[in-house]
Amino acid sequence: MPIDPTLPYDDQNVFAKILRGEIPAKKVYEDDYAVAFHDIAPQAPHHILVIPTGAYVSWDDFSGNASDAEIAGFVRAVGAVARAAGVVEPGYRLLANIGVDAGQEVPHLHVHIFAGRPLGPMLAR
């Protein structure tokens, strides 16, 4: 069920629980600003989620309210995760769903990294 991104942060969301270590995740990266782990239902050979460690609902919330250090740390982490996964060549796709029309399901900002095969058109036609 897509979430309403204008709602306040819900600290019971599944990624908040992963950050607190309350539920397991196959982590591939962790620093002060970001954590990355494999998606539980991969849609490509590589499907990794990168999330900020701060409590931000969406890209809208994060870009408007996070500190410069948090934003820089998160963006650098996305790049580092892709490099460590070995997907810079032949390429990868970043995707962030924000709000209802995008079908965002988990109300903690996350960027999907897809790679490992030709990924096709950007949007279903």
Active site residues: 110
* Cα(106)–Cα(23) distance, integer angstroms: 15
- Sequence-distant (6+) residues with CB within 8 A of 113 are 36, 46, 47, 48, 49, 50, 78, 81, 82, 85, 87, 92, 93, 94
Nearer Cβ to ligand 5GP (69/105): 105
* Cα(14)–Cα(121) distance, integer angstroms: 29
Q: Does 123 bind ligand 5GP (CB under 6 A)?
A: no
Nearer Cβ to ligand 5GP (69/100): 100
Site residues for ligand 5GP, 98-117, by CB under 6 A, read 103-106
Binds ligand 5GP by CB under 6 A, chosen from 5, 52, 61, 97: 97
Residues of the shown chain interacting with ligand 5GP in the complex, contacts defined by CB under 6 A:
14, 25, 37-41, 97, 103-106
